[in-house]
Amino acid sequence: MRTKYKRWAVEYLNQSFNNQIKLEDFNKEEFLKFIGNSHLFLEIGPGKGQFITSLASKFKEHKFVVCELNDTISGICLKRIDESELTNIKLVAGNFFDLGKIFLENNILFDGIILNFSDPWPKKRHERRRLTSDIFLLEYVSLLKKDGIIYFKSDNDDFSNYSLEQFKKFKFDVIKECFDYNELEDFDALTEFETKFKNEGIKIKRFVMKNNESVIKKSEDLI
């Protein structure tokens, strides 16, 4: 479902900067001060922010970055972050690969990457847009710490099966492979639509993958 343009959300995004990271003006020293000695996690596609504010409130000792390309969704999410008064979340309103470039240039890596109910992009010609396609996974590997984790949840069967095959193709260690995820694990939180999906009888798929020395890091090594 595509989010309709909301003027107020875009205006909010352009006016509130306390919890934003502007990639064009990235300040490494300021960001390292934000991280401190904490673990750092990235959520790609945070929706309206229910998940990240819930998780960050449970784990205030960790730091979180959310990345969202759509300005309307970014504005809605940022408002929720601001209203939560949490100080351990920063939002990047922009392209994930631009974020990756800046963070790699500054040698900033993540302990975990979170993918919740990503757009499945079901048509074959759109495969490169899927957040678990080769181009994205290669970037995740470069941004993850040695034992970094990818957390994945989806309601879509085909996208889940595709993603699991992708994780295994890249030789991630499979920590969790669940096709009917009901009990909320400690390092997890509900998204806006997750309860709705469950009430409709849609099974939630959840995979947890761990980086390791054998994980494929170059496109030429892919089979």
pLDDT tens per residue across span 141-157: 999 999 999 999 999 99
Mean pLDDT over residues 71-89, rounded? Answer: 98
Portion of the chain with pLDDT greater than 70, in percent: 99
Kindly report each contact of residues 70-74 with a partner whose C-beta sits within 8 Å and lies 24 or more positions away, as own/partner. Answer: 70/3, 71/9, 71/10, 71/13, 72/3, 72/4, 72/5, 72/6, 72/9, 72/10, 73/3, 73/9, 73/46, 73/47, 73/48, 74/9, 74/13
Q: What is the pLDDT of residue 170?
A: 97
Portion of the chain with pLDDT greater than 90, in percent: 94
Tokens (6 digits) for 101: 């470039």
Q: What is the pLDDT of residue 222?
A: 87
**pLDDT averaged over the chain?**
96
- In angstroms, the CA 47 to CA 70 distance is 10
Q: What is the pLDDT of residue 82?
A: 98
Q: What is the pLDDT of residue 94?
A: 96
pLDDT bin (cut points 50, 70, 90) of residue 105 is very high
Q: What is the pLDDT of residue 1?
A: 55
Task: Just list the catalytic residues.
Answer: 119
pLDDT bin (cut points 50, 70, 90) of residue 65 is very high
Would you say the pTM of this structure is higher than 0.85?
yes
Mean pLDDT over residues 27-42, rounded? Answer: 97
Could you tell me how many residues make up the chain?
A: 223
- In angstroms, the CA 160 to CA 179 distance is 9
